Chains A and B, each alone.
Chain A
């Protein structure tokens, strides 16, 4: 079977789950495309995904209320082993990429990380993935009875729910003790559209001057455009913006139709999170800033003057 670990957030199935199904279906490997739903109180999630999978395995347990890499890895490996999975697909989210290596080690399997394409040729999987801070596309091959892969968000076409409802099975798991105690969480909720799912992203860097500058310029423009907002590491570190908004190597990877970078220099680490955007727009006062090298459109000028003028223009 092809085992897909269902990703969801705030009671909603994530787009990445449907993309993984899309990936599994086009792979066409032997066996049912099987969902594994891990969590506590996940009946609704299980029913929702039943519309796209061939079968759904559910582990609904209080011990699974909170994610833990070791617990998740143990659960996935156990099910993969019991179900004799030939492929285990995990979302390319931060947690997916954190526990999947453990699954691979447990199954003595190769790991294809953050794949943007996967093809099966006579039982051998060939995957493409970005390397060198997303500047290179590499092709690698995994030839093994079972292969674990994490799937890059946005790389595959999402499967659409049909009207077939797959059968659900409850599974029993031998879960290990948690060893990492999470003693606090700082999560900020945003009313804005999610960064990774937005068509337009307006991002700001140190060039917006201050947290207030970000609010007037970046959020101001984003409001006009119905866009999500992003930030550079520099201003996240400075505490102007929450980490969830960070775009780049150590933040989120986005691929919107338009990415508007305001006062962002364009460090490689930032580019690695947005360079695949369809259209890149840069506003920076330094004509030498590297961001212009990958920009489709741009203005060399002071953001404090350009951006309000753009907002005014859009309001016309």
Chain B
């Protein structure tokens, strides 16, 4: 079985977001593999390690620096990587067109994709890809087992968690709780150097963006920062209750 695992390179959540000329400026910021995607990579590796004969292919679409992310994933253990190079920022609906084409060309049966993007806050890529391939999808997956052609597991739905069963081929979107992603070890980092990282260009896919980006701004709400010392608990509690009642007027 071939497994495609999507890798997006995003700003580390610990970094502050900087805006330049109405756009988020990633220059000089720490970029990482989207944590949500890491769960997918880890799960793909676990499927392979569980004895299922599988090849794990990582795919990234974006500027050249995305190869750093792919190298990380190769060092985690993916077998090979494909980088579709573009400076264009594709919205998830158009991005899914690229992913679906790669999936078809590579004959994959299982696709992992993060449940939510840490930069665009989007949930759409997995579902849109599934639709283009006419496959079913499972979102927010936090438990997964492969039994032959059947996938069984657990995911979060609107109000609570559900267990499911679905046949391959399928798109799985992942989230925290599915597994603990491994870090690349130094020996594996060295091995990854020799793995294939194929570069293609976006032109080959005939895909253009469906949304136009206009501007970005950081709107931080000014906070009061009235922080009390709690060494004298009753006094601090009384003062806080007074503030919430009389100043903020949020409690009766």
Q: B11, B91, B228: which contacts A132 (Cβ < 8 A)?
A: B11
Within 8 A of B (CB), among A235-256: 237, 242-244, 249-250
A305 touches B230 (CB 8 A): yes
Q: In the docked arrangement, what's the CA distance between A312 and B240, Å?
A: 13
Closest 8 CB pairs of A and B: A301-B230, A309-B237, A187-B160, A101-B124, A258-B250, A101-B127, A101-B128, A305-B233
A139 at the interface (CB under 8 A from B): yes
Q: A131, A182, A250: which contacts B163 (Cβ < 8 A)?
A: A182
Between-chain CB contacts (< 8 Å), 12 pairs: A102-B127, A104-B93, A132-B119, A133-B13, A137-B216, A142-B212, A180-B164, A187-B160, A233-B176, A250-B140, A292-B227, A300-B229
B216 touches A257 (CB 8 A): no
Chain A interface bracket (under 10, 10 to 19, 20 to 34, 35 or more): 35 or more
Which residues of chain A come closer than 8 Å to B145, judged between CB atoms? none
Within 8 A of A (CB), among B221-236: 221, 223-231, 233-234, 236
B161 touches A243 (CB 8 A): yes
Which residue of chain B has the shortest Cβ distance to A144 in the bound complex? Answer: B210
By CB atoms of chain A within 10 A, which of B118, B123, B138 has the most? B123
Which residues of chain A come closer than 8 Å to B234, judged between CB atoms? 309, 312-313
Closest-CB distance, B71 to chain A (whole angstroms): 24
Q: In the docked arrangement, what's the CA distance between A183 and B159, Å?
A: 15
A97 touches B224 (CB 8 A): no
Q: Which residues of chain A have a CB within 8 Å of any CB of chain B?
A: 9, 67, 69-70, 73, 93-95, 97-102, 104-106, 109-114, 126, 129-144, 179-188, 199-200, 225, 233, 237, 242-244, 249-250, 257-258, 267-269, 272, 275-276, 278-283, 285, 287, 292-302, 305-307, 309-310, 312-314
Which residue of chain A has the shortest Cβ distance to B123 in the bound complex? Answer: A97
Q: Which residues of chain B have a CB within 8 Å of any CB of chain A?
A: 11, 13-14, 17, 19, 24, 91-93, 96, 115-116, 118-125, 127-128, 130-132, 136-140, 152, 156-167, 175-177, 210-221, 223-231, 233-234, 236-238, 240-241, 243-244, 248, 250-251
Are A268 and B219 also in contact (CB < 8 A) when A101-B127, A139-B214 are? Answer: no
B210 touches A309 (CB 8 A): no
Which residues of chain B come closer than 8 Å to A131, judged between CB atoms? 24, 119-121, 216
B123 touches A306 (CB 8 A): no
Which residues of chain B come closer than 8 Å to A249, judged between CB atoms? 116
A313 touches B93 (CB 8 A): no
Q: In the docked arrangement, what's the CA distance between A225 and B252, Å?
A: 8
A250 touches B221 (CB 8 A): no
Q: In the docked arrangement, what's the CA distance between A100 and B127, Å?
A: 8
Which residues of chain B come closer than 8 Å to A301, judged between CB atoms? 229-231, 233, 236
A296 touches B241 (CB 8 A): no
Besides A179-B167, A185-B157, A298-B225, 17 new A-B residue pairs in contact (Cβ under 8 A), listed by A number: A94-B139, A104-B93, A111-B91, A111-B210, A129-B121, A131-B119, A135-B220, A140-B211, A182-B162, A184-B162, A200-B251, A233-B176, A279-B244, A292-B225, A296-B224, A299-B228, A309-B237
Q: In the docked arrangement, what's the CA distance between A269 and B115, Å?
A: 13
Q: B120, B162, B177, B226: which contacts A237 (Cβ < 8 A)?
A: B177
A179 touches B136 (CB 8 A): yes
Which residues of chain B come closer than 8 Å to A109, judged between CB atoms? 93, 210
Which residues of chain A come closer than 8 Å to B137, judged between CB atoms? 69-70, 98, 180
A132 touches B24 (CB 8 A): yes
A110 touches B124 (CB 8 A): no
Q: In the docked arrangement, what's the CA distance between A179 and B131, Å?
A: 13
B250 touches A269 (CB 8 A): no
Closest-CB distance, A176 to chain B (whole angstroms): 9
Q: In the docked arrangement, what's the CA distance between A70 and B138, Å?
A: 11
Closest-CB distance, A311 to chain B (whole angstroms): 8
Which residues of chain A come closer than 8 Å to B140, judged between CB atoms? 94, 250
Q: A102, A110, A185: which contacts B211 (Cβ < 8 A)?
A: A110
B161 touches A299 (CB 8 A): no
A181 touches B164 (CB 8 A): yes
Q: B175, B219, B226: which contacts A298 (Cβ < 8 A)?
A: B226
Which residues of chain A come closer than 8 Å to B152, judged between CB atoms? 183
Closest-CB distance, B147 to chain A (whole angstroms): 13
Closest-CB distance, B230 to chain A (whole angstroms): 2
Closest-CB distance, A251 to chain B (whole angstroms): 9
Which residues of chain A come closer than 8 Å to B13, judged between CB atoms? 133, 267-269
Which residues of chain A come closer than 8 Å to B128, judged between CB atoms? 101-102, 104-105, 111
Which residues of chain A come closer than 8 Å to B124, judged between CB atoms? 97, 100-101, 104, 111, 113
